[in-house]
Structure 1
């Protein structure tokens, strides 16, 4: 990629205009295509149009007309930075022109790399504002339904709004200073994580504050007790996300690396707000925070939460923990079975909506042309100093390299400066001799396949199958071996022949993703276990809690695969499993921390089984509410027109629901009950000992 960018710096980005008619193109259709090409070559076309190639401009259509005659292409080169508005305007001008072609049943679409870039830019430009609106509305509705109070529902939204503005600016500054690429996908995910974590932390504080207000009359004392009880849990929950975000910096994929600082900044600021701003607001408002259902000071009355739904659930789980554990494990194991249908996808087109013009254009190309021709493998051959590709020696070298790739069974055809019309067509030298007998470089040999300095040739290797399938990507190492072998045969260094292009980039992405999955995810899990160990002062509890995290993850992945297949989606985006693990565990561990820290707190005053029952009854409603809000915020990603984000949104939302209602509510309490005092090993806290050392507890 670096060699291509360096030596082919002035290259244009091709827009592929596709003309298609079922049953075959007519003479009038071909004439319409040539008329369009003439317009694109004229002064009326956008200034950024640098080149136009149509079937009439090359011998024997030169691969621009499909074998069945149903599809032809006109290639329009567009210069400039694809991120600039002028580039987008140029592509839109082409689309406006093709929309004016009046011919019944003739489909004309503008796609190719230029069209794809413009469509991605269009989608990403809509993500931030749309996602923010959907998330705010969703969170506000859920908070009002949960608290039945508009006041406390607005507190997290206000805090998140302040943090969002700050983190957005800081993230942009860091991206500029450190050269990280922060796109719409990264900021969209940051928005969702910020709202999810922010509402979680606010719920932890506000729910405990409401509980303490029934025990303590003074609101400031109630907040002191609140922060003494949940402050450590909030800090630990935020700390796990910060650690996970920091670990992302160790990833090889830049998309994972760039997300780390963005998430870290947002969560760090949100954690500080949860420990300072939110308690301050709630303290100022006092009992009015929960208007119209203000909590009253009732120190002698039992807590309502102990006698309702989660009190009954706690009694049920603790009465038969082994049965509950086995039943839930069987259920989640069945969901893991969905992994048998696992099929990753590495095709960027799968991410865009099917009705996007560039996607429809590519689909027509795939129907009419060999599968690999739409996205060929690109091989770059760099000749020694002083040698030009168009020289007889240069063409001979490039020709031998071209033939070496053409001999592979997986290759359908190869084009290069030495074989401009493929291996089945005449060579460049034959064409030159036929044209003027000089034996010099053939006319048009430079058409984008030779670098500006003339020393680098670009060879296009067309695979015989869809270039983005797993089996096609598996051929890349073989093609790179061909490059190494032929380099030695023609007297070049291995680094002088490099294999790139879309399929090779997808292969490298797959390998980097596999590496990051094997390295980063265990580190994230280890970081979470360490935080849990420090918080709970136990070796045993972090082990089984980490095990439940992994179990929930694979159950969620299996369920997601089943749903995506049912929806007719072709595979799972390769990044979904990675992001699912990071977000499900970095955010879902909040509930582990909240529940287990409360169990340990209650075990100072009660026997463990009693402490577990009271903790589950007291925190169950909060965890459920927080889980629903977190699932809701991630489900907002499902409203976006990008399949990658739709899948990520569903997977995380489903995982949070499983974690909230099954793992944290049923599995963890049953394990705690079965292990008994071994939960805290090597510590062995006893309620009686705690009462002697804590006068307040003795009261």
Structure 2
């Protein structure tokens, strides 16, 4: 490691390092795709492959060959639709069925096309829907253009009293794609500007402020290309959320590492005249801390591979690639750049060589804070613990949300369309549970035996109190309407369902039936999700009654996907988070060569986490947000700890370093005074980079950005500045047990004396 540092700062080596990084960047840009081109945002892509809703989605994709995604066009008028409104809806349906409509439109269903409106008109007559099936890959631009064409047409119908909106799954997908397509460039611009402003304010130098942005920019482009190549070649599922998180993690961690190096380099330049020697001393002092800090994030990223949720799994490699490259850059590229610039790095306030003067690193403000904390450590510890405990009380208002609509802005067209549907139709009809019934070989759904089997399954679900209605090929208009066989007899005396009555509910080969189970409440509430196990028990029982295997009836759809997500998330929280904490404690133990210090440092990490979560819940409730995104607590723990441990490492390694020359209290005071400004600056920048997520129009990322930023501020100004030094002072020499480092002066004078 020392030879690497020496080479990166040497007269020739620093130029070799700089040119080498630029050459590798050019090769990556020339040979790899962009991460934005290989992203996936379908919910089932990130559930465990063993989840029943995943298997149901795979069965649907395999057997229902039309593969169309419905766009639901909503017509709404307060007080009830007029005859003219209904005529306008039918005119729109006629246009969508004509050659003037987008080529991807595969089917159109309006109220006039089915008997008794078939549930397309709300009970109060205020809302009706026209269902337009759109084929193709939702990720393709042609799919987006098709939905936008529908919206252009409906905008010509929309008026002050008649609201016409295009939503449904197709509209929702297009809106999500639109939001995610803006994330990369917008987030990158906001983050760069924010970091640059903070760095200039901190260093009062435009030169050193540009160093981390230059280095992070190189690493960002390389990480994007390498991660995209892995996703493309090995089938790694990556969504827009992962790329957004990678951006802020990279800028936050990269700026932190640069601050650690540049602050120590500036300090060494006042002690050493030769800039190469100053950099060698700098890296000898902070190189281990940077490597350990990066190592903890790499360990956390590796542990994410053990998660059941593939959205967590996919984030692990993306973060690992970015942080590994950033750590390597912090140990080679950044020292090379700073050594090339030398004292000009800090222009116009260049550090001068003054070996005989007191070191400027003794920060006045943090020197006073250190004196205050170490004079009354017990009082400071109790006061801060009481404060953070009060914040934990916010957890009493904790309410998770699993509704994807909650993530999008309320003024998004698909969200407004869904809200109109929720007002006009039964709550569960907007997102029904989808049950897939696979009949034995040789048996068709439309046969008398097939309809009887599907009918018995339909009735079994309809008997549950939580179910408002059920539709299927056997009961195309719900259990309260006529059965398919009755309709067939009324129409032509045949034995099968009438044409169009089961459109989209029977697979191409005729062996799989899709049953839609409408719940009697909002299907994404916790109580609604709790009904999924009961519905799956119904499926198992009725499968046995009708002579099918349990796997022949699968319960899927949006609510089931949300339930499976919740269960996998709960499992990952209980398994992954303790492993991350254990990994961090092990790294701290190896770095500090202590058993005691990692224990209380891990405890402060957990304490900071819960206080941050409590504060976040209070703020989200105050902002009128309905709940906390289910992924926020998981990501908060991972990032707050994996990134916040940088400050633990930086402070504690400096305390241990100073303990070689000073008594512990004096060493703690000197370390806090020396590192306090750097930790504060790094914390503000890390909080700032994550707060950039709050500018995005996605509630999930807004909440994550606020929570991590708030946690970093608490960790920086309370945990690391007040709590940790007070614990160090109270424990004294027990901090380093079983080791017992003593000041060199005492070891020489009295080697047998305890510290």
Task: Give the 3 Å change call, closer, same or farther, for CA 9–582 of structure 1 in structure 2.
Answer: farther
Contact 2:476-2:502 at 8 Å conserved across structures: no
- Aligned-residue CA RMSD (Å): 1.9
Q: Quick one: distance in 2 between partners of 1:358 and 1:609? A: 61
Contact 1:167-1:265 at 8 Å conserved across structures: yes
Aligned length: 699
Structure 1 position 306, deviation (Å): 2.3
Contact 1:387-1:455 at 8 Å conserved across structures: yes
Q: Quick one: distance in 2 between partners of 1:453 and 1:269? A: 51
Aligned residue in 2 for 1:223: 279
Structure 1 position 691, deviation (Å): 5.9
1:465 and 2:521 matched = yes
1:391 and 2:447 matched = yes
Write out per-residue CA displacement over residues 550-601 of structure 1, whole angstroms, 9 at most, x where no aligned residue.
0000000000000000000110000000000000000000000000000000
Aligned residue in 2 for 1:272: 328
Write out per-residue CA displacement over residues 417-463 of structure 1, whole angstroms, 9 at most, x where no aligned residue.
00000000000000000001122332224400000000000000000
Contact 1:11-1:448 at 8 Å conserved across structures: no
Contact 1:556-1:655 at 8 Å conserved across structures: yes
Task: Give the 3 Å change call, closer, same or farther, for CA 233–58 of structure 1 in structure 2.
Answer: same
1:47 to 103, 124, 127: 103
Write out per-residue CA displacement over residues 352-395 of structure 1, whole angstroms, 9 at most, x where no aligned residue.
01000000000000000000000000000000000000000000
Q: TM-score, normalised by structure 1?
A: 0.98
Contact 1:49-1:90 at 8 Å conserved across structures: yes
Structure 1 position 299, deviation (Å): 1.4
2:207 to 151, 164, 169: 151
Q: Quick one: distance in 1 between partners of 2:169 and 2:750? A: 69
Contact 2:303-2:579 at 8 Å conserved across structures: yes
Which deviates further from its counterpart, 173-182 or 84-93? 173-182
Structure 1 position 134, deviation (Å): 0.4
1:140 and 2:182 matched = no
Structure 1 position 104, deviation (Å): 3.9
Contact 2:67-2:136 at 8 Å conserved across structures: no
Contact 2:363-2:677 at 8 Å conserved across structures: no
Q: Quick one: distance in 2 between partners of 1:693 and 1:461? A: 82
Contact 2:472-2:502 at 8 Å conserved across structures: no
Write out per-residue CA displacement over residues 608-653 of structure 1, whole angstroms, 9 at most, x where no aligned residue.
0100000000000000000000000000000000000000000000
Task: Give the 3 Å change call, closer, same or farther, for CA 102–650 of structure 1 in structure 2.
Answer: closer
Which deviates further from its counterpart, 48-57 or 304-313? 304-313
Aligned residue in 2 for 1:170: 226
Contact 1:529-1:546 at 8 Å conserved across structures: yes
Contact 2:363-2:674 at 8 Å conserved across structures: no
Q: TM-score, normalised by structure 2?
A: 0.91
Structure 1 position 103, deviation (Å): 4.3
* SS in structure 2 at match of 1:459: strand
Task: Give the 3 Å change call, closer, same or farther, for CA 329–102 of structure 1 in structure 2.
Answer: closer
Write out per-residue CA displacement over residues 288-311 of structure 1, whole angstroms, 9 at most, x where no aligned residue.
111100111111221234251000
Structure 1 position 185, deviation (Å): 1.4
Contact 1:15-1:114 at 8 Å conserved across structures: yes
Q: Quick one: distance in 2 between partners of 1:177 and 1:248? A: 20
1:365 to 386, 407, 421: 421
Q: Quick one: distance in 1 between partners of 2:654 and 2:492? A: 88
* SS in structure 2 at match of 1:305: coil
| Equivalence map 1:594-673=2 (5 Å) | 594-673=650-729
Task: Give the 3 Å change call, closer, same or farther, for CA 249–102 of structure 1 in structure 2.
Answer: closer
Write out per-residue CA displacement over residues 146-185 of structure 1, whole angstroms, 9 at most, x where no aligned residue.
0000110010000001111111100001111221122221
* SS in structure 2 at match of 1:696: coil
1:414 to 445, 448, 470: 470
Structure 1 position 690, deviation (Å): 7.5
Contact 2:361-2:673 at 8 Å conserved across structures: yes
Q: Quick one: distance in 1 between partners of 2:518 and 2:556? A: 12
Task: Give the 3 Å change call, closer, same or farther, for CA 511–307 of structure 1 in structure 2.
Answer: closer
Structure 1 position 5, deviation (Å): 1.2
Contact 1:14-1:114 at 8 Å conserved across structures: yes
Aligned residue in 1 for 2:548: 492
Aligned residue in 2 for 1:446: 502
Structure 1 position 98, deviation (Å): 0.5
Contact 2:473-2:497 at 8 Å conserved across structures: no
Contact 1:305-1:618 at 8 Å conserved across structures: yes
* SS in structure 2 at match of 1:451: coil
Q: Quick one: distance in 2 between partners of 1:639 and 1:580? A: 18
Contact 2:267-2:361 at 8 Å conserved across structures: no
2:365 to 309, 324, 331: 309
Contact 1:200-1:630 at 8 Å conserved across structures: yes
Q: Quick one: distance in 2 between partners of 1:696 and 1:309? A: 37
Task: Give the 3 Å change call, closer, same or farther, for CA 24–343 of structure 1 in structure 2.
Answer: same
Task: Give the 3 Å change call, closer, same or farther, for CA 610–458 of structure 1 in structure 2.
Answer: same
Structure 1 position 693, deviation (Å): 12
Q: Quick one: distance in 2 between partners of 1:693 and 1:202? A: 39
Write out per-residue CA displacement over residues 645-681 of structure 1, whole angstroms, 9 at most, x where no aligned residue.
0000000000000000000000000000000000000
Q: Quick one: distance in 2 between partners of 1:458 and 1:163? A: 48
* SS in structure 2 at match of 1:421: coil
Write out per-residue CA displacement over residues 473-526 of structure 1, whole angstroms, 9 at most, x where no aligned residue.
000000000000000000000000010000000000000000000011001000
* SS in structure 2 at match of 1:100: helix
* SS in structure 2 at match of 1:695: coil
Q: Quick one: distance in 2 between partners of 1:198 and 1:170? A: 18
Q: Quick one: distance in 2 between partners of 1:352 and 1:140? A: 29
Q: Quick one: distance in 1 between partners of 2:394 and 2:560? A: 29
Which deviates further from its counterpart, 50-59 or 94-103? 94-103
| Equivalence map 1:76-475=2 (5 Å) | 76-101=132-157, 103-306=159-362, 308-475=364-531
Contact 2:370-2:669 at 8 Å conserved across structures: yes
Q: Quick one: distance in 2 between partners of 1:688 and 1:17? A: 78
Contact 2:104-2:135 at 8 Å conserved across structures: yes
Contact 1:18-1:111 at 8 Å conserved across structures: yes
Q: Quick one: distance in 2 between partners of 1:694 and 1:239? A: 38
Contact 1:632-1:653 at 8 Å conserved across structures: yes
Write out per-residue CA displacement over residues 257-305 of structure 1, whole angstroms, 9 at most, x where no aligned residue.
1111110000000000100111111111111111100111111221234
Contact 2:363-2:676 at 8 Å conserved across structures: no
Contact 2:127-2:424 at 8 Å conserved across structures: yes
* SS in structure 1 at match of 2:245: helix
Write out per-residue CA displacement over residues 39-73 of structure 1, whole angstroms, 9 at most, x where no aligned residue.
11111111111111111111111110001111000
Contact 2:207-2:345 at 8 Å conserved across structures: yes
Contact 2:301-2:319 at 8 Å conserved across structures: yes
